[in-house]
Amino acid sequence: MALDWLAARRVAMAILVAVAFYFAFRVVDVILQVFAAVLVSLALHALAEPFARLTRFPERYAVFPVALLVFGGIGLTLYLFGSTIQVQVTELFNELPAAWSAFEKRFHLEGMSDDLLRRAEAAAPSGETVISAVQGLTSNLFQVVLGSFLVVVGGIYFAASPDLYRRMFLSLWAEPERAAVARRLAAISEDLRHFLKAQLIAMVVVGVLTFIGLTIVGVPSALALALFAGLAEFVPMIGPVVAAAPAVLIALTLGMDSGLWTLLVFVIVQQSESNVITPLLQQRMVSLPPAVTLFAVVAFGNVFGALGVLLATPLTVLAFAAFKAHGEPEAKPEAKPEQDAPA
């Protein structure tokens, strides 16, 4: 009878674990959004600390003016430079067809566009399929906007009361384990904050250097291309390659020399970022091997889609920080040998 009860209990536990994994898989997008909100809260909290020291605001209330300053600054920047960026982005899209035509002529690929168009027309979906695709696109756009709103608001709430959510998380563990889990959380939080600071600096530096380089070369839409390059820097390995493609293509419309100079600009900027900027910044953050970063982006992208690609690097930092916090025991001070008092 006891064996039957033990077997039934094990089966029930296995079923509960399977149900938990299935539920986590179904709500994985929500879990990723919560993680993104935690990243936002860490960034706001890091900015709120010096603001609280300067203004003598309570730290939990300093988050709100800091969030207002940050998002207000972003809005003001978009308002001041929005028209310029809009014009350059419009020029960018207007110049891409001419750039593609020049690319075809340069490498004797005339007619490839017509062939692609004929294949696209042959594979064109029916009217109902088009309507379904439009509805799906609208639904995805709404989900992106809603998800971004939830991430920002959730990040503000997390930053305003971090101790509340920390205690809620620690309550899931047994009392004897809470101290160790709290130390691990502190180590993970510190590494993620260092990562965010380093990533922001790298994005700004890459954007500024790209803008300077493209302006010197004389590539049109330099501001829009530099903005895109700075944002793409958040996704390592893949982002810089994606950012360089439209710039090189547009530069080819000005001639092969301009295309080569533009490619050289991106190579110099990325080499500077990889060999100078990142090593300096990694002194204050988790150092990730390049191969691990590359395959992490591919793996998280395949499993979680676009959101997984965006969060691949911080998720990898999280994994490394959790392993380091768990695997490295605390150093104990060595006992100093007693020395005889001088005579």
Q: Would you state the pLDDT for residue 91?
A: 66
Contact 252, 99 (CB under 8 A): yes
Residue 291 structure tokens: 């191969």
Determine the pLDDT at residue 115: 63
What single string gives the DSSP state of each residue in 224-263? HHHHHHHHHTTSTTHHHHHHHHHHHHHHGGG-HHHHHHHH
Please state, in angstroms and rounded to a whole number, the distance separating the CA atoms of residues 232 and 210. 12
Predicted confidence at residue 1, as pLDDT, reads: 54
Q: Which two tokens stand for residue 21?
A: 């994994």
Direct distance between the N- and C-terminal alpha carbons of the chain, in angstroms, rounded to an integer: 78
pLDDT of residue 264: 92
The DSSP-derived string for 75-144 is HHHHHHHHHHHHHHHHHHHHHHHHHHHHHHHHTT-TTHHHHHHHHHHHT---HHHHHHHHHHHHHHHHHH
Nearest alpha carbon to residue 194 among 46, 41, 17, 55: 46
Q: How many Å apart are CA 279 and CA 277, to the nearest integer?
A: 6
pLDDT score, position 122: 60
Taking alpha carbons only, the member of 250, 280, 254, 282 closest to residue 266 is 250
Contacts of 196 (CB under 8 A, 6+ apart): 39, 42, 43, 46, 314
**pTM, full prediction:** 0.65
Q: What is the pLDDT along the chain (343 residues), one digit of tens a residue?
A: 556 667 777 777 778 777 777 776 677 888 888 888 888 888 888 888 888 888 887 777 788 888 888 877 766 655 655 555 566 666 667 766 776 777 667 666 666 656 655 665 565 555 555 455 555 556 667 777 788 888 888 888 888 888 888 888 888 888 888 888 888 888 888 888 888 888 888 888 888 999 999 899 888 778 878 888 888 887 777 788 888 888 887 787 777 788 889 899 999 988 887 777 776 666 556 566 777 777 888 888 888 887 888 888 888 888 887 777 544 444 444 444 544 444 3
Q: How far apart are CA 271 and CA 44, in angstroms?
A: 30
Domain segments of the chain as ranges: 9-110+146-327
Residues in the chain, how many? 343
CA distance 278 to 272: 8
